[in-house]
Structure 1
Amino acid sequence: MAESVGNFAIQLAKLGNAHVTATCAPEHIDLAKSLGADEVVDQTTPGGQALKSPSGKKYDVVIHRGEPTSWSTFEPHLASKGKIFDVKPSLSSVKAYTLKKLTFSKKQLIPVLLNCKAENIDFLVKLVKEGKVKTVIDSKYSLSNAEDAWAKNAENKIFGKIILEP
């Protein structure tokens, strides 16, 4: 899980006493661990690309925000009632969702369209102010270099927020 969705997901899951396995690029492994991940999988390795837990645990919940990944990659690593919440749904994830619903599968892939409600943002801000959740800053750019910040974001290899400063 890279970027802020993953950063917050790791921390919120740990606040809920969940065992967290994160996947990320090798340069972000220490940061993922510092945010509370119990296990971190290097997404550039065969095991990481297969989303295999280092401890062999089956996943109850997966928050997926990466590149489109086939159901066959996730399915062997899900618990009997495991659910994948895909926060960057693709056409293939919508198809997998429909198929799983039609077949009454207990394992599900659920496309999620994020809707930021004021009360949820207020709750996150409260957690940040209390020091229970931290915002990770990937990089800072001056406003005059906004195109460089945009290019960095387009690489899809950030781990945190990109800040534009005056």
Structure 2
Amino acid sequence: MGNLETCMRTFVTTGTDVAGEVVEVGPGETNFKTGDKVVAILSHLSGGGLAEFAVAKKSLSVARPPEVSAAEGAGLPVAGLTALQALTQSAGVKLDGSGNQKNILITAASGGVGHYAVQLAKLGKTHVTATCGARNIEFVRNLGADEVLDYKTPDGAALKSPSGKKYDAVIHCATNIPWSTFEPNLSENGKVIDITPGISAITTFVAKKLTFSKKQLVPLLLIPKGENLNYLINLVREGKLKTVIDSKHALSKAEDAWAKIIDGHATGKIFVGP
């Protein structure tokens, strides 16, 4: 009831993130009509976005204004919402800049989630330290990061802020960094928000809770909401947030896109579409 079927022939898709045109609406649906341009996040249970047609729930679909390209919109659902939820709900950053200034570390800041997180964090007037590879240092700095570390250098591997700041929160978009590396760099009540938590992260989370530690590791479970996706779309429309396109791949070459994603060194987002 109220599902949308969206045509992907002329729009960009990435995994469960899609931008498309409505070709059919479910019974009783009044918010959308055939021909509407939309951005949506799909359920894994009903199929992914690597198809000419996809079905999306109306609650997770938002209108795409003409000022926002299909690629700009399609990049937002998972990566953008993850960055938004990590910053606003887990780290407590107010994106209108009204809160107390926080010191934020963002790892893998040149990637899909990371490049959104840097931009959103700066909207909240935070001090951002970011890590990335050497080739992306200027890219991340241009996104707004105050300090950028090459993760392969000693200071980068140790996550030490060049200005000596302790982090109130870490938006952890990388992998294989132990808690022992984060802990000495955190403020008294600092927390690490892990967007891809594994077994070690869950173990650390439980241990810190049981010992009543002020420093916490917080596994992030994305809870997508249509209103949050619409909020991000409006930021793009207003020029306050941008989707950086690493590369585009034809649907017939989707395996090339996935190979690049698995390689883990994309700058921004990778897209599949015409």
Once the two structures are superposed, residues 34-89 of structure 1 have per-residue CA deviations (whole angstroms, 9 ceiling, x without a partner) of 11000001011121111111111110110001113211000010011111100010
Q: Could you tell me how far apart the structure 2 residues matched to 1:25 and 1:106 are?
A: 31
Q: Which residue does 2:141 correspond to in 1? A: 33
Shift of 1:101: 0.7
8 Å contact from structure 2 (residues 169, 190) kept in 1: yes
> Equivalent pairs: percent with the same residue?
57
Letter in 1 for 2:211: T
Alignment partner of 1:74 is 2:182? yes
Q: Which has the larger radius of gyration?
A: 2
Q: Could you tell me how far apart the structure 2 residues matched to 1:116 and 1:158 are?
A: 23
Q: Could you tell me how far apart the structure 1 residues matched to 2:116 and 2:270 are?
A: 15
Q: Could you tell me how far apart the structure 1 residues matched to 2:235 and 2:112 are?
A: 15
Q: Could you tell me how far apart the structure 2 residues matched to 1:110 and 1:87 are?
A: 9
Alignment partner of 1:114 is 2:114? no
Q: CA RMSD in A?
A: 1.0
Q: Which residue does 2:249 correspond to in 1? A: 141
Q: Could you tell me how far apart the structure 2 residues matched to 1:154 and 1:133 are?
A: 25
Letter in 1 for 2:193: F
Question: What's the TM-score once normalised by structure 1's chain length?
Answer: 0.96
8 Å contact from structure 2 (residues 110, 139) kept in 1: no
Selected match of 1:11 from 108, 119, 122: 119
The within-5 A match list for 1:17-56 is: 17-56=125-164
Q: Which residue does 1:90 correspond to in 2? A: 198
* Bigger share in helix: 1
Question: What's the TM-score once normalised by structure 2's chain length?
Answer: 0.59
Shift of 1:144: 2.5
Shift of 1:143: 2.3
User: Which contiguous aligned blocks of 4+ residues in structure 1 show a shift greater than 4 angstroms?
Assistant: none
Q: How many residue pairs end up in the alignment?
A: 166
Q: Could you tell me how far apart the structure 2 residues matched to 1:47 and 1:130 are?
A: 36
- Partner-residue secondary structure (3-state), 1:20: strand
Q: Could you tell me how far apart the structure 2 residues matched to 1:159 and 1:88 are?
A: 18
8 Å contact from structure 1 (residues 68, 90) kept in 2: no
Structure 1: which 5+ residue stretches go unaligned? none
Q: Larger deviation: 135-144 or 125-134?
A: 135-144
Selected match of 1:58 from 134, 159, 166: 166
Q: Could you tell me how far apart the structure 1 residues matched to 2:223 and 2:173 are?
A: 15
Selected match of 2:238 from 101, 116, 130: 130
Q: Could you tell me how far apart the structure 2 residues matched to 1:162 and 1:84 are?
A: 26
Q: Could you tell me how far apart the structure 2 residues matched to 1:54 and 1:114 are?
A: 31
